[in-house]
Structure 1
């Protein structure tokens, strides 16, 4: 056999020997022991446990702990089960040993007359979690001790002296008092922790000058993307906050002991793993935590995510500013329409009719934008709005969906209104057989442009006008000045042709 195999064999042999020895110690120990799975099912018991409980391992191994024993007629039965279960679960969940000072359990015994009956006993228990190499709880070891003899009030089968009664009763009462106090404090602590975790605002407790996370609630976890930050310094836990001023504020509060309150403070946080930084707005306070001598030992962080409120206020301000701008532009447009219409119509009746028609077109376009909350409109919807009075068979619309910004919608609405009005008065829509063909397409994907052709056919013969009217001037002004585009008006004999080119990326224009 090679040396390494021999060494491995010897090591394995020693391990088996050690395991056998441990099993022998477990079995022969005078202390009662029971091994439990994490779900509190009995794995093994030793001889002392069988003797003290009167149980047979064949009957109870593999059984749930609380199903294997009848707690007897004691009025404390539901409570004693709760106490033992709570202690075992605490040891399992915290992975730390837990002590149960006193608990009452009745044990089935053979009575003096030979019958079976229950005898109430007082027990003290220690529950120890046994961890595997990964640090997980593999088994729970319960060590129980019968302490009934410390209480002569319970021990009724032997004579007692007055001193026995005083000493035993005093020890028992003191142990019971300490256990009740511990249970009360544990209950209060659990309620406080539950309130802490369920607080609607984000809460965290930082300790030390490097501000290590001791506790944080669910709201704080949600704010930072549920990262594992327990025990980490804030600079390691939230590195993206570097340079945003928050680390300096924490250092200042720890050094001076003066609290700091932030209102609608912007913070760029990584809220999803490997995600982009997101800007959130926070109302928060950094409150120093002091020890018994008054020295600052940590910082209590509490606050609320007010991002939705801040963004709503920003949108509202933007909308108000935009509304003011639109109202001014609309009034200027109305004023221009009135002045130019008056110049072109010396007859008051003709002025009123033309002016009202143009105002109604402007109103229709506003209604179209209102339906989309002034986020824009589609090109086809604008064309349908301005030509629907002439029927679907007289106007042909061919082209892809094109989403337009509000400013572009208003200008195109006026342009198409003028073209449709001109066609109805002098062009293709003036005769029963005339038609208007409108087609459009998008060009140049890097700097998208809208190319649209308005073509009239089947109407009266067209001649080049002697002078440019207000409609032509309005169209050219809107295209070139308001939309930074180009237009070519061709007065072909068979019908007017208008070719428009408009950049859709206004920033590029």
Structure 2
């Protein structure tokens, strides 16, 4: 039986405990204990109690009947050992339990198919049934989740609701036949939903749009509150969908419903544009929806209707469009600024003696910065790959002389700009004085991620191998070298080492991953 819960500081807490007869220590009810246990056991809706390991600690009779298993085969066993499911349904169920354990708040799955093993006495095998499930946490005295109470409602019969039209249309004149069929659909639905008030409450309050359409004319026999709000609270129940929502004609949705009913195949759309009359709209409103149309089948496998699920994505898509416009405007202004800086530099360098080489170097740096901005703009300034930046900077050199190796690392916009300037300085130096200045030299760039937790770091090795031995003269510090130290050690809080070995330049960079990484990297 489930624990008694009492308000405590705005939350629920477990109080004094007693044994329910199945091994679960639960709180003392404010009534006769055997009576409380009896009430739990005879509740018409299935209930079960799980511990933090998702192990059964108690179930009621309705739950035994729903799962076709006696409680002595359930209590003490892990839920997913008895009912394994590695598919989408199992993933959603695990995610719901994890959410409750993490937040200490209830969670509801409005609609989930799940296969239930049939006992051998009923032919064996498995039967796919459809459920709603509410998961309620029971907290201990310290506020931690001690148990999860699940209340399930079997909605298989709703999903498989039979077509209510039992009178041949030839027996009644056209419009009267349509009215009678619509009334029979509504009566059949009302009779079925009266069997489960819990189902009706859960589905009506579900945040997503849900509707059940019946027959070839797609007559709505159920529409939840979200669906009703979306269509402007029009009375669509019992009306053919083309009559209930006439403005949708010609937008392709009715044709998809026809195909689902005729072919028994599901349809899914994401961010699909729809013009519809909403609540208080004088004209058509542009909306965007995610939706799924699934066929409803009877016991013989015939399609009898369509189960509709949807979500209004209008606000999210419009916000994304606005963000895209702002980013495009930002990119445009950045490019204009870089062009202005480049023009000013050219004018300044023009009158200086022997300034052509300096101007060329400055132009190249501005161009490298512009290229890095292009990479980030393509990704909406969210992240840029380390490999992408290197490939872009080294693209002018023959691929046979340049090698790159390392895992995929996604860089923040700030670190991507900074490292693009570092790679540009190294590449420019290699082309002017190093391995890429001759036909025999080669360049190898490798990187790796090491360490754990806060100590995770990114190591980059830039190794040049010249075709002929390089003199061991010390490196001369110029603007490029000062920029490397300033960017790596200053802006990125890393370490930089430069060595001029007999084979060529070796540059090693160490950076804390927290300084540069956008999100977790995966091996390339």
Normalised to the residue count of structure 2, the TM-score between the two structures is: 0.39
Where relative contact order (Cα < 8 A, 6+ residues apart) is larger, the structure is 2
| Bigger radius of gyration | 1
- TM-score scaled by structure 1? 0.40
Higher share of residues assigned helix: 1
